[in-house]
Each structure stands twice: as C-alpha cells, then as structure tokens.
Amino acid sequence: MAVLIAVLLAAVACGASQGTAGSTPTTELTITFWPEGRDAEESKRWTLRCSPAAGTMPRAAATCARLLALTKPFAPQRKNLVCTDIFGGPQQAVIAGRYKGERIWTALGLRNGCQIARAKKLAFLVPGFSANPNS
C-alpha cells in the first residue's frame, strides 16, 4: 500500500512540474485609446494576447515580439521627475491586464515631456496614437 501511495504521489508531482516548467507567464492586455482625451466619448479598444499571439490588435505576433523584448515597459516613472513643459496633444490611452504574469495598469498621455517620452516608447501598442508633439 505504501508503494502504491508513493507511486501516485510521484506521478502527481511529475505531472504538476510538467505543466509549469514549460509554461510562459501570461501576457493579456486591453488597450483603450481616446483620440481627443478621456473626457471625450469616442474611444477605441484592442486586446492583445501573447504566447500564442492573438486578439484584436493588428499584427499581434509582431507587437508581442516587440513588447516582450522590452525591459520593464510598464515600470512606473520615478518620483520627483523633472519634466519639460510641452503639450503634445489630447490623446490618452490606458493599457491594463497582465504582462508576463504581473498585473499592470498604465496611463499614457502627452501633457509634458516625461509623458511624451513614455508614450513614444509604448506607442506601438496603441494604433493611431501619435506621440510626436510636432505632428
């Protein structure tokens, strides 16, 4: 009986490790974009899932490859960051969901130089988003 229990426990442990060893942490995002700012009624929404690439995002596989190649793309900006006083436009976006298994929520805007720099880095995730204040 003890041998049977040991065999069953080994089989369960082996199956559990196979399920997690080869799995990739989940990346599933919802991207919402407001061309005229969040106060406007018009918005657009896309979904993106990586591993395997899917969702309503155009060119999902290429977008996933680019996103997963970045180091900490959704890290919060440093506190006490000094930013230039430049307005890039009313566009705003929110990226929410899971990135490599971690919950994320990131707002993008163009209200100052720091926001513009961050938006340029992540603009490929928001079709139609222009992070160029001169356009």
Give the model confidence (pLDDT) of 64-122 as tens digits: 999 999 999 999 888 888 999 999 999 999 999 999 999 999 999 999 999 999 999 99
In-domain check, residue 96? yes
- What CATH number did the domain enclosing 51 receive? 3.30.350
In-domain check, residue 24? no
Closest CA to 86 of 107, 122, 117: 117
Query: What pLDDT, on the 0 to 100 scale, is given for residue 132?
Result: 59
Residue 49, phi then psi, degrees to nearest 5: -125, 135
Rounded Cα distance, 79 and 19, in Å? 40
CB 39 within 8 A of CB 109: no
In-domain check, residue 131? no
CA dihedral sign, ordered 82, 84, 85, 88: negative
| Rg, C-alpha atoms of the chain | 21
In-domain check, residue 61? yes
In-domain check, residue 55? yes
In-domain check, residue 111? yes
The token duo for 87 is: 């307005």
CB 95 within 8 A of CB 31: yes
Q: Is the pLDDT of residue 17 over 50?
A: no
In-domain check, residue 40? yes
Query: What pLDDT, on the 0 to 100 scale, is given for residue 4?
Result: 39
Indicate the pTM of the whole model.
Answer: 0.78
- Round the average pLDDT of the chain to a whole number and report it: 83
Q: Which domain holds residue 98?
A: 30-76+84-125
CB 94 within 8 A of CB 108: yes
Domains in the chain, number? 1
In-domain check, residue 6? no
